A and B are shown apart, each in its own frame.
Chain A
């Protein structure tokens, strides 16, 4: 995927063995063609169609409204940019992603360092780590909605049992600001931890032991070893983990949809739930498509960013 930048050092010579790809004329393109065809048909073409729809005032219940007028083509985008709820959902989405991605990463990094040192029951612990992976995102949302339910939820029941809150003073986890957002973020972190941690753990275990021995001879502390050796060397693994997470980031929609559905009073409205509300519930497909395009552009930029970092991190190594 990337070209070799300097051929002098040993390391890249070793890598060259893997980069030396064969020239085989059109054969590889034939292999890729079916995949490209399916993606063009199911992703690219519908997206272009949705771009067209986003320039029309189309509403599902008014079939004649799927009409393109040049002068008014940008009306949906104009409407969105002047829509306070749009900005609110964009703001919520950015806050959600920033907090969730960063915290997921930091927690997983800590967890991977912890797991790398475990000496008792390694394999059982790794299986425990994979438990959240067994949950579909919709299931994650459902279970957290139940646990944080004000009346029958485990969290409130537990807090009452241990006497931290009064039996009548149940906390409205999914309703209050900012608790609703915090609860959703908590659910998404729980879902993100396994994949991030196993990738970072695999990275940590693959680091050369000699480096650490040398550092120990020099009297480096545990934190110094992590800060100046482990963390920088983990960079490619970090970016792989983050790229995979960013590819799948919209899974969080399932969680939001089942936990609060953007409510109450749009307190947890995000781009994804707002699209559903506009297009599916209010049948305003034109407006919903405009919103989709804004969302798609943001998602693609986000992923592209991590991908570039990934490629860069590999070259440095």
Chain B
């Protein structure tokens, strides 16, 4: 066994690696800090030149304006409507997409059947269709069915958008469960359904939570389809709401930043709760066919 030299060279390299990593990642996260900070600064600090880099004063003005608590500012942003629609569309679609996608993922992970690969690929490719391309025929069809400007019409579309990734993730999670458990369940006389329902599903709950949050975020952040299907505040969600800021004559950057912070809340929860699970669900298929 050759002992490696743990000399000053190695030590120096380690310090450099660490320093570079910290600098790069702080730079990567910097824009986000700036947005969050902007939401809580007085307008005068944001719009002056030369710029004030370090905040001198923090304020909730932007939120007071947004929710119409400031009598001097007429309310321009229907943030309550966006919040309601975003929660309804993302919430409803997540529940349905995760239920259906989990069943499909289980089938792909555990069973042998005809067209296994073709069906999996077909489901995945449906996800590759750009939203903007899908939004045109959906607009025409929804117009006929009277579903435009309808949150649940939108949620129905998001179910289809979210099924592929849910199936992919759940396929990965189910394959991580040792098969011996299911086999012994079969020996004990369980049917396929009760083996799934009583044994495999409870074991996959962490994965299920990951898939659910992932689906929720995809719907929460979706812009292309909702901007075509929702023409008024009955169905507009946050992303088209944010886009509406840019259509004003003078763009209210602080207002945008303030709304962005509200939009980020579910994503922050996501990052804290499930990052590790997400990686294992996505990459499991890479190492185990």
Q: Chain A residues in contact with chain B, CB under 8 A?
A: 1-2, 4, 15, 17-24, 27-29, 31-32, 34-36, 38-39, 41-44, 46-47, 49-50, 53, 111, 114-115, 117-121, 125-139, 142-147, 152, 154, 157-158, 160-161, 190, 193, 198-199, 202-203, 206, 216-217, 236-237, 239-240, 244, 246-248, 250, 253-254, 257-258, 272, 275-276, 279-280, 285, 288-289, 292-293, 295-296, 299-300, 302-304, 307, 310, 313-315, 317
Query: Which single residue of chain B is at the shortest CB-CB distance from A219?
Result: B2
Q: Convert B108-145 into 0s and 1s, putting 1 for each residue whose CB lies closer than 8 angstroms to a CB of A.
A: 11111100110111011111111111101110110000
Known: A139-B242, A160-B50. A250 touches B107 (CB 8 A): no
Known: A44-B126, A137-B221. A314 touches B289 (CB 8 A): yes
16 residue pairs from A and B, CB less than 8 Å apart: A18-B289, A47-B133, A114-B17, A119-B14, A131-B28, A133-B270, A142-B242, A142-B260, A144-B31, A160-B50, A198-B275, A217-B2, A240-B283, A275-B136, A295-B130, A304-B125
Q: Which residues of B sit under 8 angstroms from A258, Cβ to Cβ?
A: 243, 246
Known: A46-B137, A47-B134, A117-B17. A18 touches B175 (CB 8 A): yes
Known: A118-B18, A146-B253, A237-B283. A32 touches B119 (CB 8 A): yes
Chain B contributes a number of interface residues (CB within 8 A of A) equal to: 100
Known: A1-B108, A27-B192, A121-B22. A42 touches B137 (CB 8 A): no
Q: Among the listed A23, A39, A128, A279, which residue makes an inter-chain contact with B126, where contact means beta carbons less than 8 Å apart? A: A39
Q: Chain B residues in contact with chain A, CB under 8 A?
A: 2, 4, 14, 17-18, 20-22, 24-26, 28-29, 31-32, 34-35, 47, 49-51, 100-101, 103-104, 106-113, 116-117, 119-121, 123-134, 136-138, 140-141, 156-157, 159-161, 163-165, 167, 175, 179, 192-193, 220-221, 223-224, 228, 238-239, 242-243, 245-246, 251, 253, 256, 260, 263-264, 267-268, 270-271, 275, 278-280, 282-283, 285-289
Given A115-B21, A296-B129; 13 other pairs, CB 8 A cutoff: A1-B108, A24-B192, A31-B107, A36-B123, A47-B137, A134-B270, A143-B34, A152-B253, A199-B283, A254-B223, A276-B132, A289-B137, A307-B124
